[in-house]
Amino acid sequence: MSSSTSDKPPGLRTGTLGTADISFFVVSAAAPLTVMAGVAPIALVLGGIGAPAGYLLAGITLAIFAIGFTTMSRHVRSGGAFYAYIAQGLGTPLGIAAALVAMVGYNGMEIGVYGLLGSASSDTAGALWGIDLPWLPIALAGLLVIWYGGYRSIDFGAKVLGVLLVAETGILVLLAGGVLLKGGANGLSLASFAPGNVLVPGTAAVLAFAFSAFTGFESTVIYRREARDPARTIPRATYIAVGFLGLFYAFVVWTVIQAFGDDKVVAAAAGDTGGLFFAAITTYVGPWAADLMHVFIVTSIIASLLAFHNAINRYALALAEEGVLPAALGRIHPRHRSPYVAGLAQTVLGAGVVLGFAAAGADPYTQLLLWVNTPGMLGLMALMLLAALAVVRYFRRVPHQEGALRTLVAPVTAAALLVVAIWLVASKVALFTGASPTVNTVLVAVVPAVLVLGLLLAYRLRRTRPEIYARFAEEPPTDPHAEGAEAPCPQPPTSSSSTPASVPPSRAATPLSPSATD
């Protein structure tokens, strides 16, 4: 037995990540400091002082989505997350299409941010030291740094993200503390949450920005194989991430409103959108804190890139194990236990896109970031909608002991709210991109085009590689030798006649073992 175990190829480092570690990955992907300093002032200009409520409403919507999402995570244990849930609930063709959308979406969310890294680092160097740095070398250096972070073990990445996340949230807490201690510009006011300031036409635009600020929170389930006690760790990390982001965003935006006053903050944001947070922290804390904020915005972007890079690598690993992507992408480093080949491939892809935009003379922010990120954001929101629908259908097909709130009410409500959210983002896409109608039409059309392409790929796979199609998104085999491996769910005995031979076991409505409810 020892020789066969030693010959077995290495797997991911199981039983490594706790609730806090996974939360760091998810919250870091959202880049709270970058979202607040770079995007929240625009939300204030568009929605007025009721903007904080928009972040709360987005958080509530995604928390409702998380109820069904995390319930299904106890039953479908694949590392493929979105695509596995969609395949099990809505069928293999949509599952394969979802996998393609996920790869495009997550890559779009990461690769575009290299443009932001280059432009923000250049701005920081100019503001602090008067140095004019070109953005391209910074972006390429960032690609190497992120590659190395993904190459190392997952616990190394968790430690790095923990430090960077504390830094970026800490500077925002420092700003908020300074405003509260000094009582703001005109005393503290709760007018931001008054219905008359929330129920205004501009709130629709605020909601579009607010939903985009949570992008990546759903990646908790991608780390299932590396989590300790994933049946509990994954739901906890998901709820912590959504709850923290929703409350933190609303609180920080509210304190910045207090810093300038209800009657002056919109004019201040319109007059200096990019400098609003820096002006506030300079006034209430000191110029030294504004300098730190410049630096921490860069580290916030690095943290977001590393979090998305790790998520993409694990998606690619899962698809390679499915047989959909080349098997080489499924190789795991024998020492670091990381999907290092997938990480290298993702880095090469990122470098190709960055160099292509640079060769075309594109602006790193308004074109590389916004044009690449927007389809990625819409893709991930579309996957959430499909996942919510998949929860409903999955639990209608299989026996279970979950309550109707988790399996019907919450996912149906989330699906309806997500339809509204996607419509808001798509209809307000010009606010995100500042591009021409033609460019915006192309950016919005990317997601449905990829979905259709994925469906065509699925039907081709069913025809040409039926064995891979039949196994797609099945329950992964449990490795009894893997440290911290998750025990398989016991299945009650079923008669052989109840499951047709042509249907994979995971597709049949085989009774699942009772799951403990939270």
Q: Please return the burial class of 332, using the count of CB atoms within 10 Å of its CB with bins 0-12, 13-18 and 19+.
A: middle
- pLDDT tens across 288-314, in order? 999 999 999 999 999 999 988 988 998
Q: What DSSP character marks residue 369? A: I
| Helix 19-30 / helix 230-260 crossing angle, nearest 10 deg | 40
Identify the three-state secondary structure at position 17: strand
Report which of 141, 247, 257 is spatially closest to residue 190, judged by C-alpha positions. Answer: 257
Contact of 157 with 306, CB cutoff 8 Å: yes
Distances (CA, A) of 277 to 37, 74, 106, 112, 365: 6, 41, 28, 23, 19
Report which of 27, 28, 84 is spatially closest to residue 59, judged by C-alpha positions. Answer: 27
Task: Give mean pLDDT, residues 401-424.
Answer: 93
Assign residue 15 a region: left if phi > 0, alpha if psi is -120 to 50, beta otherwise? left
pTM value is: 0.84
Report which of 217, 269, 272, 270 is spatially closest to residue 246, judged by C-alpha positions. Answer: 217
- pLDDT tens across 259-292, in order? 999 999 999 999 988 899 999 999 999 999 999 9
C-alpha span between 211 and 207 (Å, rounded): 6
The highest-confidence range among 199-213, 311-325, 453-467, by mean pLDDT, is 453-467
Contact of 325 with 232, CB cutoff 8 Å: no
The model's confidence at residue 475, banded by pLDDT at 50, 70 and 90, is low
- pLDDT tens across 72-99, in order? 888 887 666 788 899 999 999 999 999 9
DSSP alpha helices (H): ranges in 202-229?
A: 203-212
Q: Please return the burial class of 402, using the count of CB atoms within 10 Å of its CB with bins 0-12, 13-18 and 19+.
A: buried
The model's confidence at residue 7, banded by pLDDT at 50, 70 and 90, is low
Q: Report all structural domains of the chain as residue ranges with CATH numbers, in order of start.
A: 22-476 (1.20.1740.10)
C-alpha span between 29 and 312 (Å, rounded): 12
**What six digits make up the tokens of 479?**
């490795």
The model's confidence at residue 53, banded by pLDDT at 50, 70 and 90, is very high
